[in-house]
Amino acid sequence: MLTNRREAWNPWAELAQMQREVENLFGRGRSGGLTGGDFPAVNIWVNEDRGLLTAELPGIDPDKLEITVKNNTLTLRGKREAEALREGESWLRRERGEGSFVRSFSLPFQVEADQVEAQFQKGILQLVLPRAEADKPRKIAVRGE
């Protein structure tokens, strides 16, 4: 994956491109247009020190959610169980999604995998992804003679 670092850094474009590449890798590429449609839907926020990923995962057992981080790639893996029918019950309406999911995201920086924090509240997963120290931009002091 080559990125021209000399251009002004545009994390949005970079993310979108990496997203497409990762998805094509899994054969789930979308034909352009708006994002969205894959489960779970995510939003990614960044600042200089860290990234923040939120995902809507209503009804997921957080213990069964597998989150892995390697370099700048984050993978979410899990399963959403179907509503179990009790004896004598039949379906009238069935809209809620079910099944296994895997999604990978490329972040615009390397992540300090040991320091990732995950929180699950009200069906929303929030991951804090600290930027690796080695990957942070450094200011070089220029000394005069």
Partner 1 sequence: MSAKEMVKKERQSPERAEFQDSAPVYVPEVDIVESDQEFRLVADLPGVDENSVEIDLDKNVLSVSGRFVPQPPEGYSLTYQEYASGNYEREFTLGNTIDRDRIQATVRDGVLRLTLPKAKEAQPKRIAVKAG
Residues binding partner 1 (CB under 8 A): 11-12, 15-16, 19, 30, 35-39, 41-47, 52, 56-60, 83, 85-99, 101, 105, 108, 120, 122-124
Q: Which is nearer to partner 1, 9 or 142 (CB)?
A: 9
The distance of closest approach from Cβ of residue 124 to partner 1 in the complex, given in angstroms and rounded to an integer, is 5
The distance of closest approach from Cβ of residue 2 to partner 1 in the complex, given in angstroms and rounded to an integer, is 20
Phi, psi of 105 (to 5 degrees): -130, 140
Q: Which is nearer to partner 1, 123 or 133 (CB)?
A: 123
By the 8 A CB rule, do 74 and 113 touch?
A: no
Q: Which is nearer to partner 1, 7 or 89 (CB)?
A: 89
- Give the contacts of 94 (CB within 8 A, at least 6 positions apart): 83
| Nearest-angstrom CA–CA distance, 69 and 137 | 21
The distance of closest approach from Cβ of residue 28 to partner 1 in the complex, given in angstroms and rounded to an integer, is 9
The distance of closest approach from Cβ of residue 70 to partner 1 in the complex, given in angstroms and rounded to an integer, is 19
Q: Which two tokens stand for residue 134?
A: 């080695």
Q: Which is nearer to partner 1, 4 or 90 (CB)?
A: 90
Cα angle: 52, vertex 47, 138; to 5 degrees: 130
Q: What are the Cα distances from residue 48, in Å, to 26, 132, 137?
A: 30, 11, 9
